[in-house]
Chain A
Amino acid sequence: MKQFSKILKFELTNYLKNKTFMGVTIFLVVVLAAIMFFPRLSSVFKSEDTAVENTSEDLPVMLVYSDTKEIAEAVSEAFSEAFPDYSVQASDDNLEEVKNKISAGDAECAFVLDGLSSYTYYVNNLSMYDTNTAVASEVLQSIYRMSAMVNGGLSADDASDILTAQIESNTVNLGKDQMQNFFYTYIMIFALYMVILLYGQMVATNVATEKSSRAMEVLITSAKPVNMMFGKVIASCLAGLIQLVAVFGSALLFYQINKSYWGENMIVDSIFNIPVDLFVYMLIFFVLGFFIYAFLYGAVGSTASKLEDINTSVMPITMLFIVGFFVVIFSMTSGSIDNTIIKVCSYIPFTSPMAMFTRIAMSTVAWYEIAISIAILIASVVGVGVISAKIYRVGVLLYGTPPKLSAIIKAVRRK
C-alpha cells in the first residue's frame, strides 16, 4: 500500500509537471473564458453601435409594387410590421424600374403583387437563409382571409379575433425531459470520449517509454506489477479529473460572473443546472469507464517495445470504444433512446459507462438496472485491472516485435 501511494504520487506529479498537460488545461480555460465573456463584451459593443445606427435610413429597402395602388399601400403597411429589419416602401415605378433599382443596389428586394394571392419575389442575391417569402406568404394569407371574411359579412373585429385565436397548451412530463438532458449527456459522453482516448494513449505511452528506456528493468524488480499498474492508472484518472474540474469549474465560475448577460439561454442554463443525482452518476460512470479503458491501454503499452508500435497496438481498443461511442450518439439523436442495442450496451462493461449514463439521463431506468450495470462494471474494472497487471508483468520483459494476443494469453495463463 505504501509502495502504491509512492507510485501514485510520482506518476501524478509527472502529469502535473508536464508542460503539455498544463498548456492544454490553460488553453481550454482561456477558450472557455472567451466564450463565457462573449455576451458581456458583445453587449458593450452593441450598445455603442445602436446609438449611431437606429435610423430607418440605414435599413435595407424592400419595395412593394402592385398594379393596384391600394393593394400596394395596404400590403406595404402590413409588411412594415412583419419586416422590422427592412424599410418597406410602396413603389410607384413600373416593373422595369423596380428591377433596375434592385440590380443597382438601391433596394435589396421587391415583392411584385398580382392581386393578393400571387406575387413574384425579386432579390439580387438569394441568401441561403432568406425567409422573406415565407413571412410574406403568411402575411398575405391573413390579409386575404381577413378581406374574404369581411366580404362574407363578418365585422373586422370578429374576423381578426378568429384569425388571431390562440390555442393554450400545457405539457406535463412524467419522465425525463430529453431535450433538457440532451446537452449534458452530450457533454459527458464527449468529455469521456476525449479524456479516455487522450489519457489512454498517455498511459500506454508512459508504460512503453519506461520499457524502451529500460527503466523497467529496475522498476519491475522494485515494485509489484499490480501496484505499478493501479498506481499509473489511478494517477492518470486523477490527472484527468483535475483537468476536467479546472476546465468545467472555471467555465462555471465565468458563467456565474456573466450570468445576467446570458439571459434565458436554455442550453447554457441546462448545462449548469445539472441535477445532483445525475452529476453523481456522471462521476461514477466516468471514473469506472476511465479505469477499464486505461487498464487496457496500459496492458497494451507494456507489450510494445518501441513507442512507434503503440499506435497500431492500441487500435483494437480505440475501435471498441469508438463503436460504443457511436451507438450511443446515434441512439441519442434518433429519438428512440431505449432501443435494444443501447439496452444491451448498457450492461456490457466496455460500453455501459456511456450507454447507461445516457439512458439514466434521457429516459427512465429502474434502480436495479442501474445497480446491476454498475456492479458488472466494478467487477469488470477489478478483473481487467488484475489481468492487465499480469499482462504487464509478462509484457514488459518481452522485447522485439509486439507479441500476438494468443501468445500473451498463453503467457499469462502459465503463471
Chain B
Amino acid sequence: MILHEQKQDDIDIVVLLGRFIMADAPEARERIKNLIDNGSGKLIIDMEKVTFIDSSACAVLISAFKNMQVKPGRLLLVTSPVVQSLIELTRLHTIFEIVPSLPAAISAFAA
C-alpha cells in the first residue's frame, strides 16, 4: 500500500493506494493518528484507489474515527467499490461518513 499525505487549506487528506491489509495497518494507524493529533480536526481518508481491504484495515478506520471523536473533529471517507463492499458487509457504513469522491469531501467541509 502507498500512503500520501496532502493538505488543502486546513483539511488534512490521506490518500491510500493499492492493497490495505494487516501488513500495512501499523504504519497507517500511526500516521493517521499523528495527523489527527496535530491537525485541524478536518480529515479525509481517500481510498478511491484502494484495490483490497481486510478487517485489519477496518480496525485502522475505526481507530481513526474514535480518535477524531476525542479531538473532536470530523472524518470523511472516500471509498472504492471494493472498500465500500467490505464496509457495508461489516455494517460500518452506518457509522462512517462516506462521500463519493475527494472533491465532494472537500466541498462537504466547505459547506
Binding partners A and B? no
